[in-house]
A and B are shown apart, each in its own frame.
Chain A
Amino acid sequence: MQQISVTELFARAALEVDNRKLTGLSGETVISSLGMDSVATMELVAYFEEKLQIRIPDEDLGRVRTLGDLKDIVARLVPPGVQVTL
């Protein structure tokens, strides 16, 4: 079964997209507190979509406040059989 760790993928995305090294991420991490502006945050979302071959509806983007929220949305969109963890 394929496993995806949202915190690991998020950290990788932040490094690639925003040249930012993030550590200590958890489900409670509030994305807006990480010092990235809304454009950089959206670039991270686009990174997730590209790597996981999913499309997060725009109307759901406003509900993503924490990495836990992101994990819940990703888990809904990935194919069956893919396990999404924090």
Chain B
Amino acid sequence: MGSSKADIAVSYDVSNDFFRLWLDEGMNYTCGIFDGQDISLEKAQINKLRILSEFAHVGPDSTVLDIGCGWGANLEYQGRINKVKAAHGITLSEAQCAEIRRRNIPKVTAEVCSYLDYRPSVKFDAVMSICMMEHIVSPEEARAGKAIAAYRNYFRLAHEWSAPGSHFGLQTILRNFVPRDRQDLRDVGWVTYAIFPGGITPRLEEIIAAVNPYWEVLELKTRRLDYRMTTWHWRDRLRKNEAKIRAGWGDKVFEDYDRYLSTCIRGFEKHYQSLAQYCLKRID
């Protein structure tokens, strides 16, 4: 169900050095928070991590689980900035896990593991998941009406892995509506299958339905323009490194990622997509 390990490799294993050229220093491959301010991408990513840490009620005594931890930007924030008791991340990407190990962050561990197979030996008191839910369901499964059940299972597992009183800092892209413009339809469809195979972004009402009976929504904020700005910064950095990317990874990689990021910017501008941050409380 959703993105397989092979699908994840397509999305994230081009090369860590490639992604390092256009993501922020921490390698957050998710929306940063600008709040309308003229700040750097790095500062916006720290804002995002701070907000989601607050939503998860992370403190120095916390044991944090990061579901879909990417290259470890959030784990590093928890280990070095929040100085948590422990933080553990799971990802399906071998390349991402290798980067986390390379960073050698105190109190932080990570493993290559599907959330469907994960069996922790401890109960976490703070759960975080930043744009991983987009990989839970495939477009075909969504069309077949299987999304809410799959998301509910995810929230059930997070409930099982967490201690009573826990909070969950969650971030997801939102699928607002399908484009009707033919070129936009083709571009969005291409991104779905070529860059993120096996996955599809959730609709807000699907998340709201699926959290019950496991998590209560305490806060919810949408951040459409923040993601427009984030993807603009990514494309700007990609283009500034065009010659290096073409030389290192070929013309197709540069052209594909330029098309993909341009489609994202347009998607957030035209309301096809948005982004949401949620503060959830465990229903004990």
Given known A-B contacts A62-B142, A62-B143, A62-B145, A46 and B185 have beta carbons under 8 A apart? yes
Nearest-Cβ distance from residue B215 to partner chain A, whole angstroms: 23
- Chain A residue nearest to B187 (CB atoms) is A39
Q: Smallest CB–CB gap between B273 and chain A, Å? A: 12
Q: Are B145 and A43 in contact (CB under 8 A)?
A: no
**Centre residue among B144, B145, B177, B190 by max chain A CB count within 10 A:** B177
Q: Which residue of B lies closest to A63 (CB)?
A: B145
Interface range, B side? 10 to 19
Instruction: Judge if A49 is at the interface, Cβ distance under 8 Å.
Output: yes
Chain B 157-199: CB-based contact to A (< 8 A → 1; otherwise 0): 0000000000000000000011010100110011000000000
Question: B210 to chain A: closest CB distance in Å?
Answer: 15
Please measure, in the bound complex, the distance between the C-alpha atom of A37 and the C-alpha atom of B139, giving whole angstroms: 12
How many Å lie between the Cα of A29 and that of B177 in the bound state?
26
Contact B142 A49 (CB under 8 A): no
Q: Cβ of A22 < 8 Å from any Cβ of B?
A: no
User: Please, how many angstroms separate the alpha-carbon atoms of A33 and B203 in the complex?
Assistant: 27
Whether A39 contacts B143 by the Cβ 8 Å rule is no
In the bound complex, do residue A49 and residue B180 qualify as a contact, i.e. CB atoms below 8 Å apart? yes
**Residue on A nearest B178 in the bound complex, by CB:** A58
CA separation between A64 and B185, bound complex, in Å?
A: 18
**Are A39 and B178 in touch, CB under 8 angstroms?**
no
Chain A residues closer than 8 Å to B182, beta-carbon distance: 17, 43, 46
In contact, B145 and A38 (Cβ under 8 angstroms): no
Q: How far is the CA of A39 from the CA of B187 in the complex (A)?
A: 9
Contact with A along B136-154 (1 / 0, CB 8 A): 0001001111000000000
Q: Could you mark each residue 26-43 of chain A with 1 if its beta carbon is under 8 Å from any beta carbon of chain B, else 0?
A: 000000000001110011
Which residues of chain B come closer than 8 Å to A43, judged between CB atoms? 182, 185
Is the CB–CB distance between A38 and B180 below 8 Å? no
CA gap between A37 and B142 in the complex, in Å: 15
Would you mind naming 10 contact pairs between A and B with Cβ atoms under 8 Å apart?
A38-B143, A39-B189, A42-B189, A43-B182, A43-B185, A58-B178, A59-B203, A61-B143, A62-B144, A62-B145
Interface residues of A (CB under 8 A from B): 17, 37-39, 42-43, 46, 49-50, 58-59, 61-62
Q: A38-B139, A46-B182 are in contact. List 16 more A-B contacts (CB 8 A).
A: A38-B189, A39-B185, A39-B186, A39-B189, A42-B185, A43-B182, A46-B180, A49-B180, A58-B177, A58-B203, A59-B203, A61-B143, A62-B142, A62-B143, A62-B144, A62-B145
